[in-house]
A and B are shown apart, each in its own frame.
Chain A
Amino acid sequence: MEKTIKQWLSRMKQQLGNKVRSMEQNSAQETVMLVEKTELPDVCYFLWHEKKGRLFTMVGNDERDIHGFFALYYVFSFDSFRHFITVKTLIDPLDPTFPSVAVQLPAANWYEREVKDLLGLRPQGHPDPRPLILHGDWPEDLHPLRKDFPLDRHAPRVQSREAFMPYDSEDVTEIPVGPIHAGIIEPGHFRFGAVGDTILHLDARLFFTHRGLEKASEGMPLEKALFLAERTCGVCALSHSTAFAQAVERLGEVTIPPRAAYLRTLFLELERLYNHIGDVGNVCAGFGFAVGVSQGARLKETLQQLNERVAGHRYLRGVVRLGGVRIDITEREKEEIAQTLAYVKKEFQELVDLLFSHDIAMNRMATTGVLSLEHANQLEVVGVAARASGRSVDIRRDQPYAAYDQVSFHVPVYEVGDVLSRVRIRVDEVLESIAIIEQLLHSLPSGDTFTPLPPLPPYRSAMGWCESPRGETVHWLMVGPDQTIYRYRIRSATYSNWPAVPLAVKGNIVPDFPLINKSFELCYACCDR
């Protein structure tokens, strides 16, 4: 494998010729290509289109203190080689522009709008010039992620530059919804262009819960930043803390003890379980099927109470520590987990049988909110939504972490891409998760639960990743010389998946939107940060 990766990389270098200025290994799993900014679109398109790399994340960084330039990192994942290639380019502060990659690579769209808002690096030729992270009333010339912008500076509100798609025809009704919704839901603003009941077009205005998390992390000691990381999202807390801890451990070139790896895997699957079961129940709210909602909520509560008894927290916060885990489990707790899961499995199966044999439920779910494979691939959709559309990505299998290479599991894939497929994926994955946990409990190794960390090298980057219940999550980290965070970028699954929702609702009726939205089950907090 090592040899083939080397050959594959050197062949790639040949094909790209003088477009690549230098190529160096950042870690065993990551190679960095330095390119001139003018070559950026060509090189990225080559890696994505010719070499079939997935756009994994993109990070903009103010490195003027280090070498006088801004830097952009486009990271591509090559799952079959279990390798990442990062395309890096430096941008002169005197000309803070770069040619947009999003023109050819739609998945880069949001990332480039983000670096424009937060760092003031302008993508030339970008198809959508509207602000993204900062709303229209933020002054256009202030960029909070620049190092010279103080963390707590409150900018004045200016005349809003906000714009929604105007509709020419009088037959199109504009329906604005949110940001505050009717239930206990997170805030987002949706604007439907509808003809009668049918949705012609949807514009989503997000990032209402943007808290400035990444900026707040800068200068923070790593131990404290772990707490910040696990508060990125309430219900994927463990996925985020694991991804952050893995980034730190990769930077320190530390391998965590086998018992810690197994325990992380165990708790990560418990996180997936309570989420997936709760989500299957919640989908039922999309068509007023109260029995399903209640049963889902009851089983979710059963699992969260198990979390609390075993890990001390209903949302599994505080489980991970840098270098391992904080929570160990006893033989009695192993028994308790096994018993609770046996109960949940039986009850969940009853709920699923009820749901899938209910004509009205099936009728509402089937053929509703179809996301095509083509769109899923172009937007680099991840997680449940990807697998329901025939796109087989699961970072647990593709780039294994924790103890996922020690257990066997099947990654379900459906082709249709409708609400029903997304529900089916969750149902299948619940059973897979229970099977994974059974294997882990059976073969849990003894030994230490953490390894101390060495001092971390400054100004080098590392990534940690995790398949959260919503899909692949990536944390990109750079540490400064004082062992505090220099730059931290979180790319959650929802960040990748939100742009797909407007495509999936097109042609559906307005009353089906809540159902479609629930089937994607995207959260706002980790997307907005």
Chain B
Amino acid sequence: MKSEKEQTADLRWTLQKRMKEVLGRSLHIRHVDSGSCNGCDFEMNTLTNPIYDIQRFGVDFVASPRHADMLMVTGGVTRHLEEALIKTYNAASEPKMVVAIGACACGGGIFGRTYANYGGVDQIVPVYVYVPGCPPRPEAIIEGILLALKRYEQLSRNKGEKMH
């Protein structure tokens, strides 16, 4: 059986391969904190550290939603961030792949639905892929990106579009 380190390395190579197959180019991600406890945010940050270093494989976190193929949303959408999430979603370019990161983004988590919290990203914008966990491990987030690529591939195929 492969060691944990080797498995992580495999995952990253798969990521690069799949990005080339599906997108034919690099993948740009915009992060939106819609009211998380910041645990998921830190795990996303971890992806860019020298251990995981997904930037080396062509994935980057970008400053503007207009440059982004994918939105990673953490948190269950608070009342005060609803507008910011919608604006970011509208500003993102197609295909607007929304990946909900963590238990709160997937379904409200332990905070649930309150006067200040909507209890899940899909209450406000359509979600492509759900990555559960509290917070999800860096490997799980990479797996989430792979699932989103698969979904994109299937949807494009259904529409009969040429891939790239």
Contacts and interface: CB of A to CB of B under 8 A. Distances in A.
B78 A298 contact: no
B117 interface: yes
A237 B42 CA distance: 13
B114 A215 contact: yes
B9 interface: no
Interface in A233-268: 233-235, 237
B39 A315 contact: yes
Interface string A116-153: 00000000000000000011001000001000011111
B84 A179 contact: yes
Given A182-B63, A186-B38, A211-B35, A231 B115 contact: no
Interface in B41-56: 41-46, 48-51
Contacts of B44: 184
Given A179-B84, A298-B51, A216 B38 contact: no
Nearest to A278: B42
A444 interface: no
B41 A234 contact: yes
A525 B114 contact: no
B155 interface: no
Contact of A186 (B41, B48, B114): B41
A213 B114 CA distance: 8
Interface residues of A, number: 49
A185 B33 contact: yes
B111 interface: yes
Given A151-B114, A180-B88, A211 B76 contact: yes
A231 B37 contact: yes
Contacts of A208: 35, 78, 80-81, 84
Contacts of B31: 183-184
B114 A301 contact: no
A317 B134 contact: yes
Interface string B90-127: 00000000000000000001111111110000000000
A450 interface: no
Contacts of A211: 35, 76, 78, 111, 114, 116-117
Interface string A171-184: 00000000110111
Contacts of B134: 231, 317
A144 B38 contact: no
A155 interface: yes
Contacts of B38: 186, 233-235, 523-525
With most chain A CB atoms within 10 A of its CB, the pick from B48, B61, B80, B117 is B80
B141 to A, nearest CB: 12
A187 B37 contact: no
Give the size range of B's interface with the partner. Answer: 35 or more
A154 B43 CA distance: 31
A212 interface: yes
A421 interface: no
A348 interface: no
Contact of B109 (A215, A231, A314): A231
B42 A210 contact: no
B135 interface: yes
B118 to A, nearest CB: 8
A476 interface: no
Contacts of B48: 297
A216 B39 contact: no
Contacts of A151: 114-115
A134 B117 CA distance: 12
A12 to B, nearest CB: 40
A116 to B, nearest CB: 16
A187 B33 contact: yes
Which 8 A/B pairs are nearest by Cβ-Cβ distance? Answer: A234-B39, A212-B114, A182-B63, A297-B49, A212-B116, A234-B38, A209-B35, A211-B117
Interface of B: 31-33, 35-46, 48-51, 61, 63-64, 75-76, 78-81, 84, 88, 109-117, 134-135, 137
29 contacts: A135-B80, A138-B79, A144-B116, A149-B115, A152-B112, A183-B31, A183-B61, A184-B31, A184-B41, A186-B33, A209-B36, A210-B35, A211-B35, A211-B78, A212-B117, A215-B114, A227-B110, A228-B110, A233-B38, A234-B42, A237-B37, A297-B48, A297-B49, A300-B49, A301-B49, A315-B39, A315-B42, A523-B38, A526-B37
Interface of A: 134-135, 138, 144, 149-155, 179-180, 182-187, 207-213, 215-216, 227-228, 231-235, 237, 294, 297-298, 300-301, 304, 314-315, 317, 523-526
